[in-house]
């Protein structure tokens, strides 16, 4: 438990509140991003899945989620769900004891809550246009409890088994992107293909969502240092550099293939770069961030191409961008990590850290494998309680009007 004290660092506390706000903004940004990518008849359904996570995940987080993530450990796998249940025992003077940054515990609760909100929302892009809302709510709950909360504890809690082993994940390559991305792939296999596929209906909406995600990602990555120092600044710069190099790389790759520069390709590339730099942002040099950004675009671009060739209906390329990007970022952290850029980090393979590199690979495989297996099993179980997939008639009419009785673009307006 965290001991109460009054030594509040005003600067670090203010910075972390701003970062929490930025990460919160990413979930509405994701809603706009996904909303623009789907067809006109399903805009509200996919956006609502992001916004309901904003609300329901908060309820679970306050009730027991934070406690499962950061409470006293059970064999390094999960925290005691009762320790901070409904923030029991947390007072204004209770300080976060994870470092000496001088931030109140309530600030850490709020910041980490924003990560919990957006992670399952990422998955929704994979099964867009064909999952019932009841099934999604059940899935959201089960996935947080059995995938997200345990991996947060194992990687980011000081008592976590992977943290104790020496695995690093600066801002969520393992915890967020690998778990969500491979869960997305499992959901695609279980739910099946859409009865009809529509093109993205609103590219400006995609651009707005990308801009909000990119802006919020500075809080996502730089804020993960949990204080203001030189590592915070390098994580901020690495985030932008990787995203920019990735966006340009994707643009030229697609330009060479399609003979035209595509705006959606540029936007997709930046998101791939952001996802891939996330686990490494505070542990690598700017030069390494450039290499990671370029590698992100090349690998994710061909992962999406593979998905298309295999006929996997990952509607919004969650696996190809977030899953593959996050997985790749964890591996590349094992290659490029340098104590010269973060004394609290490790030296990667290029600096003789073969053992660290192996640990990163094993952790990435563990996260991806468990997320995939649990997601498929959870959807199978949920489908026995309530149908997971909407009918062909509902798909034809559109989920907005059929499931929610609302339309993004009413006829005649």
DSSP single-letter state for residue 406: -
Q: Is residue 5 part of a domain?
A: no
CA 392 to chain centre: 30
Among 171, 135, 148, CA closest to 52: 135
Q: Is residue 3 part of a domain?
A: no
Distance of alpha carbon 259 from alpha carbon 252, whole angstroms: 10
Residue reference for tokens 């991305």: 181
Residues 6+ apart with CB under 8 A from 302: none
Q: Is residue 4 part of a domain?
A: no
DSSP single-letter state for residue 130: S
Please give the tally of structural domains in the chain.
1
172-178-179-185 Cα dihedral, nearest 10 degrees: 150
Residues 6+ apart with CB under 8 A from 379: 135, 139, 186, 187, 190, 191, 388
Residue 79: strand, helix, or coil: strand
Q: Is residue 412 part of a domain?
A: no
Q: Is residue 171 part of a domain?
A: yes
Q: Is residue 409 part of a domain?
A: no
pLDDT value at residue 1: 46
Q: Is residue 1 part of a domain?
A: no
pLDDT value at residue 71: 96
E-only strand ranges, 11-107: 73-74, 78-79
Residue reference for tokens 């330009």: 255
pLDDT tens-place values along the chain, 413 residues long: 444 445 899 999 999 999 999 999 999 999 999 999 999 999 999 999 999 999 999 999 999 999 999 999 999 999 999 999 999 999 988 999 988 899 999 999 999 999 999 999 999 999 999 999 999 999 999 999 999 999 999 999 999 999 999 999 999 999 999 999 999 999 999 999 998 888 899 999 999 999 999 999 999 999 999 999 999 999 999 999 999 999 999 999 999 998 899 999 999 999 999 999 999 999 999 999 999 999 999 999 999 999 999 999 999 999 999 999 999 999 999 999 999 999 999 999 999 999 999 999 999 999 999 999 999 999 999 999 999 999 999 999 999 999 999 999 887 55
Q: Is residue 413 part of a domain?
A: no
Distance of alpha carbon 117 from alpha carbon 207, whole angstroms: 22
Tell me the whole-structure pTM to 2 decimals.
Answer: 0.95
For the domain that residue 298 is a member of, what is the CATH number? 1.10.3430.10
**Residues of the domain holding 185:** 10-404
Among 285, 175, 287, 152, CA closest to 231: 285
Distance of alpha carbon 6 from alpha carbon 95, whole angstroms: 8
């Amino acid at each position: 438990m965290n001991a109460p004290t009054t030594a509040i660092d005003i600067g670090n506390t203010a910075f972390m509140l701003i970062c929490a706000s930025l990460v919160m903004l990413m979930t509405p940004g994701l809603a706009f991003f996904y909303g623009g990518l789907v067809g006109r008849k399903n805009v509200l359904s996919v956006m609502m899945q992001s916004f309901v996570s904003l609300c329901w995940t908060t309820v679970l987080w306050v009730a027991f989620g934070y406690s499962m993530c950061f409470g006293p450990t059970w064999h390094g796998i999960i925290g005691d769900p009762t320790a901070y249940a409904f923030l029991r025992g947390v007072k204004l003077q209770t300080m976060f004891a994870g470092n000496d940054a001088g931030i109140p515990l309530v600030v850490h609760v709020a910041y980490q809550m924003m990560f919990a909100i957006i992670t399952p929302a990422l998955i929704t892009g994979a099964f867009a246009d064909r999952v019932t809302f009841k099934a999604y709510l059940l899935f959201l709950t089960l996935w947080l409890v059995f995938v997200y909360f345990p991996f947060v504890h194992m990687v980011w809690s000081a008592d976590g088994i992977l943290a104790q082993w020496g695995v690093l994940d600066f801002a969520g390559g393992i915890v967020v992107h690998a778990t969500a991305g491979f869960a997305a792939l499992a959901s695609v296999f279980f739910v099946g293909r859409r009865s009809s596929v529509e093109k993205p209906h609103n590219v400006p909406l995609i651009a707005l969502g990308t801009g909000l995600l990119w802006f919020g990602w500075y809080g996502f990555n730089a804020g993960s240092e949990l204080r203001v120092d030189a590592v915070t600044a390098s994580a901020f710069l690495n985030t932008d550099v990787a995203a920019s190099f990735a966006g340009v790389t994707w643009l030229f790759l697609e330009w060479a293939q399609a003979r035209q520069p595509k705006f959606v390709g540029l936007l997709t590339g930046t998101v791939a770069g952001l996802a891939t730099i996330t686990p490494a942002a505070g542990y690598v040099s700017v030069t390494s961030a450039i290499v990671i950004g370029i590698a992100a675009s090349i690998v994710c671009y061909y992962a999406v191409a593979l998905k298309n060739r295999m006929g996997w209906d990952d509607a919004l390329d969650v696996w190809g961008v977030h899953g593959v990007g996050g997985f790749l970022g964890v591996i590349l952290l094992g290659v490029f990590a340098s104590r010269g850029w973060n004394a609290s980090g490790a030296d990667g393979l290029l600096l003789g850290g073969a053992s660290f590199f192996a640990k990163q690979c094993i952790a990435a495989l563990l996260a991806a494998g468990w997320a995939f297996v649990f997601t498929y099993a959870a959807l199978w179980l949920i489908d026995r309680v309530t149908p997971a997939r909407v009918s062909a008639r509902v798909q034809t009419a559109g989920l907005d009007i059929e499931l929610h009785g609302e339309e993004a673009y009413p006829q005649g307006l």
